[in-house]
Amino acid sequence: MNRALVLGASGGMGYAIVNELSSRGVEVTAFARSEQKLNHLYGERPEITIQTGDIFNLHDVIAASENTDIIFQAANIPYPEWEDNLLPFIGNVLKAAETQQTKLILIENIYAYGKSTGAKMTENTPKQPTTKKGKIRLQVEQMVKQSNVPAIIAHFPDFYGPNAENTLLHFTFKDAVQHKKAMYIGNQKISREFIYTPDGAKAAVNLSLQSNAYGHNYNIPGFGVITGEEIVQIIRELSEYDRPVRTVSKNMIRFLGLFNANMREVVEMFYLNEEPVVLDGTKYETEIGPLPRTSYHEGIKQTLQYMTAQSE
């Protein structure tokens, strides 16, 4: 791989993938809508090409992917737009990949798996989504597999890490860094799985370099499971944060949804905070090698340091 395009380069996982590719000497084009955000992240890094454009504009995506070996699809859109716009957007990515004859790495979440079975989800676990968004994600997967594009679908748990702003844990971290009353979404006693974005980026890039991996799905788990109480304790140890952390319940999210369309959509996925889905990474470790796994203590430390530096 000599040259790669990262869609959604201004987001958390996109940012981590750009950094990982660049660290390996790959020429990277960082694509997103906001020129201001791209310049903030990469403006002083001449080895990275900044490309602004609209992911819903096929011409923009095709132009950005010219002379590219691999497209990393890490872009996302707001929940309320999924029903009407997610499949057309993925269709544009596939058309661009076909036109330019590139490979595709699709950064996926866990929604298509549906509710927890009580065991870790493997790549062979039947996908039985019960939510509207889970069914849409399954349609995305089917669309990719039915295309002529050599693709890898990588499933990740919820993200956290530097520049990973549209995430559940960022909601907690942000207030803690500002020493405000923080809130944690979901029961703080329930163990959940999160992945540190630089770890996810390493795994995705490792997969992209394996020719035998194309045409397959891979689960990329995080550093085991962790409770909200343990996350709060790590925050306190690292930052001397001593204020109470309130729990955001499903009823609170439902109430906020009366006034906010995005919150209305969050309610549907709240089951993941009550019956968490946990991924099995055996296939990756058997075929590719050891999973990149940064401890929660170190990952949260690096994330808080990044956020503190950005606020100064």
In a domain, 306, yes or no: no
Which pLDDT score is estimated for 232?
Answer: 97
Q: Whole-angstrom Cα distance, residue 249 to residue 261?
A: 17
Q: Is there a single domain that holds both residue 112 and residue 172?
A: no
Residue 267 confidence (pLDDT): 85
14 found inside a domain: yes
Residue 61 pLDDT greater than 90, yes or no:
yes
Asked whether the predicted pLDDT for residue 250 surpasses 90, the reply is no
**Domain shared by 206 and 233, yes or no:** no
Answer yes or no: is 242 within a domain.
yes
The fraction of the chain above a pLDDT of 90, given in percent, is: 85
* Average pLDDT, integer, range 127-147: 95
**138 lies in the same domain as 66:** yes
> Where in the sequence is the domain holding 232, given as residue range(s)?
168-189+226-273
Residue with tokens 């020429």: 27
Strands 245-248 and 182-185: parallel
Q: What is the pLDDT of residue 51?
A: 96
* Residue 268 confidence (pLDDT): 85
Give residue 157's pLDDT.
97
pLDDT at 259: 60
pTM of the model: 0.96
- pLDDT tens-digit readout, 206-245: 999 999 999 999 999 999 999 999 999 999 999 989 999 9
Q: How confident is the model at residue 278 (pLDDT cuts 50, 70, 90)?
A: very high
Residue 229: name the closest of 251, 250, 241, 247 by CA. Answer: 247
- Strand 158-160 to strand 70-73: parallel, antiparallel, or no bridges (unpaired)? unpaired
pLDDT value of position 257: 64
Work out the pLDDT band at 44, boundaries 50, 70, 90: confident
Reported as a pLDDT band with limits 50, 70 and 90, residue 266 is: confident
Backbone angles phi, psi at 287, to 5 degrees: -95, -30
- The answer to the question of residue 300 being in a domain is no
Pair 232, 154 in one domain: no
CA–CA distances in Å: residue 294 to residues 194, 299, 303? 11, 6, 12
> What is the percent of the chain with per-residue pLDDT over 70, rounded to a whole number?
97
pLDDT of residue 311: 79
**Model confidence band, residue 258 (pLDDT cutoffs 50, 70, 90):** low
- Asked whether residue 202 falls in the same domain as residue 215, the answer is yes
